[in-house]
Amino acid sequence: MPPHIVVVTTGGTIAMRYDPAKKGDIPAVAGQELITAVPALAGVASLEVVEFANIPSFHMTPAIMLRLARVVEALLSRADVDGVVVTHGTDTLEESAFFLDCYLPPGKPVCFTGAMRNSGHAAPDGPYNILAAVRVAASPDLAEQGVLVVMNDEIHAARYVTKTHTASVATFASPFWGPLGHIEDDTILVRPFLSRPKPLRPERLPEPVPILKVYTGMDSAFLEAVRSMRPAGLILEGFGRGNFPADIVPFARQLLDDGVTIIAASRVPAGRTLGVYAAEGGGAQLCQLGVLCSGQLNSQKARILLLLALGLGRDRAWIAGCFSEGETLRACSI
């Protein structure tokens, strides 16, 4: 029997066409139509389509991600299902994929894919990306490896992948680790996988957990406006390895005294956020205050992880372990 793969569609560019009246791409393609457009799928797996939504991914929210995670988990629990493919818009694909990676226990393959060109384009990338994602989801060798992102002949771990270009079909990359594997026609080539943290499964997600992108000459009044929101948690996206203007220090102290968990991330695409610099506003100083580092996670993924961790109602030390647990680097002696 061929493997049975469920394709869960959520919308995005892959399910859009250009509307001349509105002068832009709009949702226009149903889930079954996406599959019908790829006849080669019949030779890979038996398919089932679940149309979860048909929205632009810039309308995606953590609450919708939680519902999506529960739908995918229910599908994976079926004995007749061998894997799941989720089609998704690329703007927030990395966040939804990472959410499911954090939420779902290890098991059958789950692959996210999408498109940078709408379905009516002269050379759409969506059909081939769907075909590649189904091939990966149908492979038993890809089980237990967490949620994967399959785009442009590459396989990426949801934890490390990010969108790097606004328009290129080669937009998704894992700046620190590189891709986990490549697809050559019907052959899947992968390197050894990294270990996965334990799943985080809250019943509800706290709000608000904003991301504050700092910049040179930031006005402290803006910081007070963020504090007035009474955030459940906060992601500070800073410079370099997690460094900030000096005005951040008293602001961070106040929020930490209020019991707010703060994560320091970086605006730099690759590398780890570490407490290295001890000057006023430097990462080392903030770490001493109690600010946690995001490690290899960018600000948007750090927010997803913090939402899930805070939803479980644990203390700051436990949350710190959630961020360090995903750090899979091993230092070698020289």
- 13 a catalytic residue: yes
CATH code, domain carrying 310 = 3.40.50.40
At residue 325, the pLDDT reads 65
At residue 334, the pLDDT reads 59
Residues 272 and 314 in one domain: yes
Question: Which is the catalytic residue, given 13, 113, 162, 261?
Answer: 13
Residue 203 lies in a domain: no
Q: Cα angle at 84 between 120 and 64, to 5 degrees? A: 75
Residue 202 lies in a domain: no
Residue 262 lies in a domain: yes
Residue 195 lies in a domain: no
Domain count of the chain?
2
Residue 205 lies in a domain: no
| Interatomic CA distance for residues 310 and 316, integer angstroms | 9
Residues 184 and 227 in one domain: no
At residue 332, the pLDDT reads 55
Task: Report yes or no: 298 and 273 within 8 Å, Cβ to Cβ.
Answer: no
Q: What is the full per-residue pLDDT of the chain (334 aa) written as tens digits?
A: 899 999 999 999 999 999 999 999 989 999 999 999 999 999 999 999 999 999 999 999 999 999 999 999 999 999 999 999 999 999 999 999 999 999 999 999 999 999 999 999 999 999 999 999 999 999 999 988 899 999 999 999 999 999 999 999 999 999 988 999 999 988 999 987 667 788 999 999 998 999 999 999 887 788 888 889 999 999 999 999 898 988 889 999 999 999 999 999 999 988 888 878 888 888 888 999 999 999 989 999 999 999 999 999 888 889 998 888 665 555 555 5
- DSSP code, position 59: G
At residue 218, the pLDDT reads 83
pLDDT digits (tens, 9 = 90+) for 45-103: 999 999 999 999 999 999 999 999 999 999 999 999 999 999 999 999 999 999 999 99
CA dihedral 112, 114, 119, 122 (to 10 degrees): -130
Residues 45 and 183 in one domain: yes
Residues 147 and 42 in one domain: yes
Residue 197 lies in a domain: no
At residue 10, the pLDDT reads 97
CB half-sphere exposure, 315, CA atoms < 13 A: 2
| Interatomic CA distance for residues 3 and 85, integer angstroms | 13
Range of the domain at 89: 4-190
Residues 53 and 168 in one domain: yes
